[in-house]
Chains A and B, each alone.
Chain A
Amino acid sequence: EIVMTQSPATLSVSPGERATLSCRASQSVSSYLAWYQQKPGQAPRLLIYGASTRATGIPARFSGSGSGTEFTLTISSLQSEDFAVYYCQQYNNWPPLTFGGGTKVEIK
């Protein structure tokens, strides 16, 4: 099973600032990496697939990068609606699909 590790667990950022979230895989997942956003009481929402491709309707301020075992999600200028928990997930070698533990982006 591929273990996904996200850091930091919590990120405190001011509105308008850049946020950089990290995700590491225990073995290579190539570019089969997705990012999701989850707000309280809501289902997760797909942001990025293929490590760097934005899903339909996702604003350009969200960008993904990386391949192999190291990945980054960058939010270029945080808006109020972006404060949420973000999960990375690999789909290269499954079952099982595996998710990271999440990074909570909170208002500084």
Chain B
Amino acid sequence: QVQLVESGGGVVQPGGSLRLSCAASGFTFSSFGMHWVRQAPGKGLEWVAFIRYDGSNKYYADSVKGRFTISRDNSKNTLYLQMDSLRVEDTAVYYCAKDYCSGGRCYLGSLDYWGQGTLGTVSS
């Protein structure tokens, strides 16, 4: 079965860095676009970043552009999010999620499997 397991969250001071990982299993990781979505405590969902299945295209929310970097290692079935210059407002649970594909067609941007999330807290 499809599994996405995030790790790497923790507590960091403003201006610091965190590197999140998302280990994928149960599907052909190298064939799917992947996303990071975050949720601040008690708030709604905010899309953060996307990477194409082969890593050739990457997109970011304006709120993280220039500070966060999404990447993937298809040989390790792992997605990453490098978060630098962190701010208090980046505090959130970070989820990785995969694009939904069915019947040979992919619905890029609709997200069918999500990990359980990892909490990143930015606080002094």
Q: Return chain B residues, CB-CB under 8 Å to A89.
A: 45, 109-111
User: How far, in whole Å, are A102 and B60 apart by their CA atoms in the complex?
Assistant: 22
Q: Does A99 contact B (CB under 8 A)?
A: yes
Q: Does B104 contact A (CB under 8 A)?
A: no
Q: Mark B39-57, 1 if CB is under 8 A from A, else 0.
A: 0000011110010000000
Pick the residue among A32, A42, A102 that contacts B44 (CB under 8 A). A102
Pick the residue among A34, A45, A95, A99 that contacts B46 (CB under 8 A). A99
Main secondary structure of the interface of B (DSSP, over half): strand
Q: Mark A82-103, 1 if CB is under 8 A from B, else 0.
A: 0000010101001111111110
Main secondary structure of the interface of A (DSSP, over half): loop
Indicate if the CB atoms of A34 and B110 lie closer than 8 Å. yes
Q: Does A55 contact B (CB under 8 A)?
A: yes
What is B's interface to A at a CB cutoff of 8 Å? 35, 37, 44-47, 50, 59-62, 95, 97, 100, 102, 107-112, 114-117
